[in-house]
Structure 1
Amino acid sequence: METAPDVRRLTAVLMADIVGYSALMGADQNATMDALRQLRGGLFNPIVDQHRGSITKSMGDGWLVEFPSISDAVACAVAIQTSLIDHETIRLRMGIHIGEVVFEAGDVFGDGVNVAARLEALAEPGQVLISDTAVNSLDQKTAALFQGGTAQKLKNIERPVGVWSWPEHQPFKATTDTKASGSAERPAIAVLAFDNLSGDREQEYFSDGITEDIITDLSKVGSLLVISRNSSFVYKGKTPDIRQVGRELGVSHVLEGSIRRAADRIRVNAQLIDTQTGAHLWAERYDRKISDIFAVQDELTRCIVDALKLKLTTAEHKRIGAVPTANPQAHDLFLRGREAVLSSANTKEMFELALRCFNRAIELDPDYAEPYAGLGHAYTREFQNKWLGIPNSLEHSQRFVDTALQKDPEMPYAHYLNGINKFWRGEQAASHAAIERALSLNPNYAMAIGMRGINAVNSGTPLDGIPDLERALQLEPRAGHLYTHFMGMAYLLAQDFDTAIARFTERIEASPGTDLSRGLMISALGHLGRVEDARKMRDELRGINPDYSFSEHVGRLPLTDASVTDMLLDGYAKAGLDD
């Protein structure tokens, strides 16, 4: 296996740690885990996103977060600490430094990390400590909010470091001078599921697919925070108060609309609404031929950008204006196939439907990249589920993914699938690189965020993957059952068997045909000595797949530690069951 070179860059690093984590877990583990889930999904992750941060590492009781500027890091830290002042359970310590970091073998090192970690350890609950290097990089207005500057000798840091503090009681107002601070608060938008007015429920895939394409196009605008479909589709089929949507999703604007399709014509109505006032900032109706659907999406995206007074970069102009195919029937087939391959009905029938749709789309337009990626996705699912019993499904998948990337090197979907395939091949560094590339093209790509979490689950520190899996679950309901499965696996590998069983139970309810979730649940039950429950689960498993072999299935998992495989097999054996 080829070793990936290390990556070095100068960046702003924030280290955050939960105060008294062990004591909290010891006092009430379930309540603490619930509080942490709410903290991650409802506060920490969204605020990090709003300030252009990237959670590089999660340690269960803490985070390492990167930012493109020190102003972003400071504004994010203070916003989080301010939000937690009245929290009943969770308090955080934070340290910030700007310096070189090194990414190597799935981990991160360097001066930026070391100094930030030492500052975080010095901080009081609710406090933010930053280095002299960091404070000297801030504009004067923001730097004036910090006190101190006394040089201190930090453990394993050669030079003395001047330490500056922001106490929790001191108010903070981020500067609006983007030239000085390098950070202006981005507008945030949610795209609600467009109503299908075609009078045919069979067209639901089309209205949902177009809505998802609009979300994807808007996600390419770096100065705009876009809520993914898991959050926005909660309101599908409802008539919510837009102001309430704004409060619940934390967005400044909502896009809503409808789609009517008849023969070769399409009518799209869309309106952009300010969630603070409920006022319509912009509205438009498009009556076009179905062949103009990409032009409609392009115009709609640019109108929203203009209404929000944003400026597109040259790269964003190019990405938004790209037309993947000139054949509307091929695009329609791709939408059908994508709906099938992402369906929670994880069945051979859905797999075969996806193959028919993608192959027919390619017949109609051999240069259309997305159906090749769709075939890659379908064969990856076949590799995992063995519907056809062929030995080389992963090779089929990689061939189609490579073709997709040749035809469109900037397709996030194809880079994500490339990351999946490298994951199953055990090439963790290459998988991580592919996933990071997908996220660089679409930072709100839920499936790629989930895959980053899955990589962490299998890398030897399973609980590090939980934040990304929870974030992905929040963003994308279609694949939610899969993320729930890997949460169960994370807790099983961490030997938290009760929590693992709870997650596997949720996954089985969402995807009744799953076999591996049942097999892993049997292992967890065996470790707890719940033999009768394990036997009932084995009966269910045999009913679904009479030829299922747990040892064979586990043997295909790309686990980095052989002792982990032994632990899984040992739990199954403790249930008193033959494989």
Structure 2
Amino acid sequence: MNTVNPNSSITQKLGAVLFADVVGYSRLMSENELDTYNALKTLLSQIEAACARYQGRVVEVRGDGILALFETATSAVEFGVELHQISAQHNDSGSDQQQIKFRVGIHLGEILIDERGIHGDNVNIAARLQEIAEPERVYVSSAVYDQVCNRLRYGYEFLGPQHLKNILSPVSTYCVRSEVAGATLAGTMRPDAIVDLLERPDTPSVAVLPFSISGGDESDGWIADGLTDDIILNLSKFRNLFVIARNSSFFFRAQSMPPKEAARKLNVRYIARGSVRRSSSRIRITAELVDANTERTIWGERFDRNIDDIFDILDEVTECIVAATAVMIESHERQVMVQAVPSDLEAYGSVLQGQQHIFKYTRNDNRKAQNFYQSALERDGNYARAAAALSRTLNLDWRYSWTEDPGSAFEQALSLAQRSIELDPTDARGFGELGFVHLYRKEHSAALQSYQRALALNPNDADMHSDFADALAHSGENETAITHLQQAMRLNPYFPDQYLWHLGGAYYNLRRYEDVIETVNKMNNPTEGQRMLAASHAQLGNMDMARMIAEKHRAAHPNFSLSRWAKVLPDRLEDDTQHFVEGLKKAGF
């Protein structure tokens, strides 16, 4: 692809190379060749026009792929995000089967240019980044990230060094998240690991890697993910176990690494993993537990059951893993594991499919998750897990104004959390959702009690520790909040930006402004921490920096109101609210 005629005129130039490719193009063409061709032709003309608006040029269009060159990394990333928006608008008028979606990869470096186009290793890197990108996402190299992270108001999820096909050295890669709010809650790897949080705990420690789909249809992935989720949840309830959180375990979904390597990265003793194969009426689950110290499988089992027996399988797999780790569990803790299961298998399936969307933390995925949870409750009105999960989606709607009536969503979240607890008082999630609602209703004692009850039921829930820490900080108990955040980060090494956000808030209340700046600068999302960052710089007298950050915040949130923000903050102590407002005013808000 990149051979160059030695007799042609070649120039070298620094540029940002973008590759975009249609997802599942062969399938689309085989199903409806003429309509796909015409739709893509129309779409490509819109994309080429947009490319010119960002001072780029389309070098080549090959069937379903686009190769474009830009003067700057900033223009290339802005265009990459715009490309997905153009495609989404186009898809609004089409059927689900004829959706045209792209993957995009961008790299910055020196390229070779001749009369036939652009060439070189840096062009290949952009192409390979596109190949590993998720649909409707933009993947960029660290060279691009370094140029845009402080210029563009997107979230940047660090994916670690990626081994790309036919590229000699691994390329540090980031996923651009254009939905700023969602990036705050999405679990993520970080370029600078917080090593001191990763000491192996004294108690038996285990990570449950995502179960894989063996044969069959990849669309059955929700079954494997759901079983993994439930095993993690059930194991987390045992106080004598240290269990890695879901976010961090699921980072290993697409990585086929030996158990010893996964255990080393998470610093745990045991790795549990398995696979799922489903036919029309049967399901086969294989599971094993590996001691990473010896690399020996200390327990393995295969479960062949009717699909209707899925709840019994879950109990068996979890109990066997616990027994294999030789954890002495008291009888009353064993009872905590008995959770209410739905009477309807389809209700359970709806909840598992909802989980596929809620952890992506975007407006559209939150709406899809909401629909699945609502469907589960319609089929089984006593399903506590569905009520708690639906409450969480409504909380997100309220927090990010993802609905036309956030106030109503907030009230519904409260009602559903209360309903979840009534249906199953042993499920920590209902108490966690209730704690969140109480906090923002400024009912601090009730919020702390709800979180304490949730952590008593599930002491290994990393997100619960972080949410509890936030409630503690807003209640004036900042040192205790920091302790819980450290525990959350250890349980969930690939923690979301939200943990850092909460930690920064506790430091700010303690007037530890330099710690705030160091903490917030570790966030992958450069936007949501800007208020705290600007206020801290202002309190330290760094006025030029404070005002520059405030200006960036205005560009991202032009409708931000300081007076409204002061009313929303759920601080128990008025001094804490005024202290933050003071910093923001100094910064120019």
Bin for the TM-score computed over the shorter chain: 0.5 to 0.7
Distance 1:437 1:574, change over 3 A: same
Q: How many residues align?
A: 397
Corresponding position of 2:570: 558
- Match of residue 469 from structure 2: 453
Task: State the Cα distance separating 1:504 from its structure 2 match.
Answer: 2.8
For 1:476, the equivalent position in structure 2 comes to: 492
Report the Cα offset of residue 481 of structure 1. 1.6
> Is 1:364–2:376 an aligned residue pair?
no
Amino acid in the other structure paired with 2:391: G
1:325 Cα shift?
A: 1.0
One-letter code aligned to 2:466: G
Structure 1 residue corresponding to 2:275, chosen from 246, 258, 282: 258
Q: For 2:240 and 2:541, locate their aligned partners in 1 and report how far apart those are by CA, in whole Å.
A: 53
Alignment of 1:162-561 (within 5 A): 187-197=204-214, 203-246=220-263, 249=266, 251-263=268-280, 265-310=282-327, 312-343=329-360, 345=361, 347-388=362-403, 389-476=405-492, 480-507=496-523, 509-510=524-525, 515=528, 517-561=529-573
**Inter-partner Cα distance in structure 1 for 2:339 and 2:402:** 35
Q: How far apart in 2 are the matches of 1:264 and 1:537?
A: 58
CA distance in 2, matches of 1:430, 1:566: 24
1:378-418 Cα deviation digits (max 9, x unpaired): 22222322222433433211100111111111111111112
In structure 2, what is the Cα distance between the partners aligned to 1:440 and 1:353? 31
CA distance in structure 2 between the aligned counterparts of 1:551 and 1:498, rounded to whole angstroms:
26
Percent identity reads 28
Distance in 1 between residues matched to 2:290 and 2:571, nearest whole Å = 47
Using a 3 Å threshold, how does the CA distance of structure 1 residues 555 and 41 change in structure 2: closer, same or farther?
farther
CA contact (8 A) 1:342 1:479 kept: no
Contact 1:230/1:474, CA 8 A, preserved across alignment: no
Whether the 8 Å contact between 1:529 and 1:575 is mirrored in structure 2 is no
Once residues 462 and 219 of structure 1 are traced to their aligned partners in structure 2, the CA distance between those partners, rounded to angstroms, is: 26
How much does 1:567 deviate? Answer: 2.0
Task: Tell whether the 8 Å contact from 1:229 to 1:475 is kept in structure 2 after alignment.
Answer: no
Amino acid at match of 2:320: C
Look up the equivalent residue of 2:332 and give its one-letter code: A
The 3 A distance-change label for structure 1 pair 534 and 328 is farther
Ranked by relative contact order (alpha carbons within 8 Å, sequence separation 6 or more), the top structure is 2
- Relative to the length of structure 2, the TM-score reads 0.61
CA-to-aligned-CA distance 1:264-302 (integer Å, 9 cap, x gap): 543321112233322222212223343322211111122
CA–CA separation in structure 1 for the residues paired with 2:576 and 2:280: 56
Letter in 1 for 2:574: A
Q: TM-score, normalised by structure 1?
A: 0.62
What's the CA shift string for 1:351-386, capped at 9, x where partnerless? 322221211111121111111111211222223222
| Structure 2 letter corresponding to 1:394 | F
Q: Which runs of 5+ in 1 are unaligned?
A: 1-34, 51-186
- Following superposition, the deviation at residue 191 of structure 1 comes to 1.6
- Counterpart for residue 576 of structure 1: 588
Closer/same/farther in 2, CA of residues 248 and 539 from structure 1, 3 Å limit: closer
Quickly say closer, same or farther: Cα 1:312–1:462, change in 2 above 3 A.
closer
Distance 1:546 1:477, change over 3 A: farther
Distance across 2 between alignment mates of 1:296 and 1:253: 21
Q: Distance in 1 between matches of 2:298 and 2:494?
A: 31
Preserved CA contact (<8 Å) 1:340 1:353: yes
Residue 42 of structure 1 is matched in structure 2 by: 199
Q: Distance in 2 between matches of 1:496 and 1:201?
A: 49
Pairwise CA RMSD of aligned residues? 3.1
Residue 571 of structure 1 aligns with an amino acid whose one-letter code is: G
